[in-house]
Chains A and B, each alone.
Chain A
Amino acid sequence: MIPNLTQTILILVLGTPLLILIVFLPALIELRKPKDCGPRMILGKMPEFYVQPRVVAIANIEEEIKFDYSLLPRLLKVIEVLPSLEI
């Protein structure tokens, strides 16, 4: 049995929002102004590729270069044809 119901309810009503704020404040800060959204760079024997750190909040991001790999076979076919266009 709870010894003092009023006291318990008061603690819950005042304490719970405070606890939630304390617990989630760092997460909210990181989401609002991310400083490390990854991905983590993994290396092999040598630095084999550079992974762009992407900060979502940067306002001046222009076009993002996306390479659709499903186009690769079609691009290769185009490149194959090109030499035959030479005079």
Chain B
Amino acid sequence: MLEVLEALFLILTAVMIIYIIRHYIFTFAVLRRTKSKTTLDSAPSPKLEHSSIVTVLIPARDEEKVIGRLLQRMTELTYPKEKMQVIVINDASSDETGNIAEEYSRRYSFIEVLHRDKIIGGKGKSAAMNSGFQHSRGEIIICFDADYYPQKDILEKLVREFADRQVGAVQGRVVVLNEPENIVTRLVALERIGGYRVDQEARGNLGLIAQFGGTVGGFRRDVLESLGGWDESILAEDTDLTFRVYLAGYKLRYVGDAECYEEAVDNLKAYWTQRYRWALGHMDCCYRHSVNVFLSKNLRTKEKLDGLLLLNVYFMPLIALLAFVVGVFLIFFGSSFIVGVLWFSVPVSFYSFVGNFAPFFEVSIGAHLDGRTRTQWLVPLLIFTFLFNVPICMKAFLNLLASKILRRDHNVWVKTRHLGNGNRYIGN
């Protein structure tokens, strides 16, 4: 029995060490590239082509506090309006979302509103996006969630990447707007810094699997059509599309200078709901795509390896917890010397590398690269969000397991409520 536990402990530790190495590689890759970029930042952008018609899809359900802000921003974008089509998908809203969108639609010809009533609507973001996609005419489809607030030239930055025919999708950077609100928003902002400034950037630079985040990104129309649009049976439709794009032989490009504000969740209950949906959906993607990724002829070896590690990332809190429990048992009830040595690496790796969106040292480096040294002081508090994510991932895993065994639907979309508290941080 003891030997079995020791073997298990060694396997779990090996998995964690693989992730540690992966994230250290990411961090050094970004640091190295940042150091070597000399005149690139000051060089003029390549000539941006405005020939592509772009459709912006904005799914919105009960977003009256924020939809007006985003639509106003759409009118301020520098992309030619005659080449833009903005479609607001009013998905069975019970507030003024539809009326606000209609008002903008009356004033601006490039803004359209698609209303979904309570019978056909309210079935999740994927269904809403597919509905909007059917009415789109753009060659490039860009997605924004209703609580987002993009740069004025974000469409140019995203669209120009499609000049490369191999690029099937793009993803921009997300920055938390309501960061000063409270400690929850400040910690979420830190997660975003690590996840985008380092993790996504590194995966893009190293030619690995960059991830579509569901918003501030987009697709080539013909690619989306060939993939059949958004899969309405899965909660993490963004992760699912990411892997379907890669498996179809296209690439997803991360565009770090295409930035957009978001309103982060500002309380633990909303955090739980949102992250539970992400964990469950992501684990479901792992179940659906792992074998395909492993066997794909369209992916290079390093892409396959990174893809598998990415698919399994939401299992890491569970693996770390299991390793911790087994390690404690072994240290008290007899173990070999090597397990005793490795036991000390568990708390180190438990703290230093595990995090839902980026390990803690990635977050620190990301904050440093953003010039936000002082905000690095909050990094130790991320241990609490990590600990909070352990039961989230545990519940997601058990629900997914039960749904697969019992063949029941687990995809109930519980949307994040946005209160518009990011407005106070924008000034003209």
Q: Is the CB of A38 within 8 A of B176?
A: yes
Q: Is the CB of A39 within 8 A of B152?
A: no
- Tell me, yes or no, whether B78 is within 8 Å of chain A by CB: yes
Q: Is the CB of B261 within 8 A of A39?
A: yes
Residue among A39, A48, A72 making CB contact with B179, cutoff 8 Å: A39
A36 with B375, Cβ < 8 A, contacts A27-B381, A56-B180 known: yes
In the bound complex, CA of A44 to CA of B426 (Å): 15
Report, as a range, how many residues of chain B touch the other chain: 35 or more
Please give, as numbers and ranges, the residues of chain A lying within 8 Å of B334 by CB-CB distance.
Answer: 1
Within 8 A of B (CB), among A3-25: 23-24
Q: Is the CB of A38 within 8 A of B65?
A: no
In the bound complex, CA of A60 to CA of B427 (Å): 19
Q: Interface size on A (CB < 8 Å)?
A: 37
A72 with B103, Cβ < 8 A, contacts A27-B378, A31-B378, A42-B175 known: yes
Total A-B Cβ pairs within 8 A: 119
Nearest to B351 among chain A residues (CB) is A23
In the bound complex, CA of A40 to CA of B197 (Å): 12
- Tell me, yes or no, whether A79 is within 8 Å of chain B by CB: no
Residue among B99, B370, B377 making CB contact with A40, cutoff 8 Å: B370
Q: Is the CB of B179 within 8 A of A49?
A: no
In the bound complex, CA of A58 to CA of B78 (Å): 37
Q: Is the CB of B377 within 8 A of A50?
A: no
Q: Is the CB of A24 within 8 A of B103?
A: no
A30 with B374, Cβ < 8 A, contacts A39-B261, A67-B423 known: yes
- Tell me, yes or no, whether B66 is within 8 Å of chain A by CB: yes
In the bound complex, CA of A76 to CA of B100 (Å): 11
Rounded to whole Å, the gap between the CB of B239 and the closest CB of chain A is 25
A38 with B154, Cβ < 8 A, contacts A69-B68, A69-B420 known: no
Please give, as numbers and ranges, the residues of chain A lying within 8 Å of B427 by CB-CB distance.
Answer: 49-52
In the bound complex, CA of A14 to CA of B78 (Å): 61
Q: Is the CB of A27 within 8 A of B180?
A: no
Q: Is the CB of A42 within 8 A of B425?
A: no
Q: Is the CB of A35 within 8 A of B374?
A: yes
Q: Is the CB of A42 within 8 A of B259?
A: yes
Within 8 A of B (CB), among A30-87: 30-31, 34-40, 42-45, 48-52, 54, 56, 64-70, 72-73, 76
Rounded to whole Å, the gap between the CB of B47 and the closest CB of chain A is 13
Q: Is the CB of A38 within 8 A of B372?
A: yes
Please give, as numbers and ranges, the residues of chain A lying within 8 Å of B65 by CB-CB distance.
Answer: 68-70
Q: Is the CB of A49 within 8 A of B428?
A: yes
Q: Is the CB of A39 within 8 A of B374?
A: no
Nearest to B182 among chain A residues (CB) is A56
Rounded to whole Å, the gap between the CB of B145 and the closest CB of chain A is 15
Q: 10 shortest A-B CB distances, which residue pairs?
A: A69-B68, A38-B179, A73-B103, A37-B180, A26-B377, A36-B374, A44-B151, A42-B259, A30-B377, A39-B179
Q: Which residues from chain A sit less than 8 Å from chain B, CB to CB?
A: 1-2, 23-24, 26-27, 29-31, 34-40, 42-45, 48-52, 54, 56, 64-70, 72-73, 76
6 extra interface residue pairs, beta carbon distance < 8 Å, beyond A30-B374, A70-B65, A73-B103:
A23-B380, A45-B78, A49-B426, A69-B66, A70-B100, A72-B103
Q: List 5 A–B pairs whose Cβ atoms lie within 8 Å, in order of A's numbering.
A: A36-B375, A40-B179, A49-B427, A52-B425, A54-B425
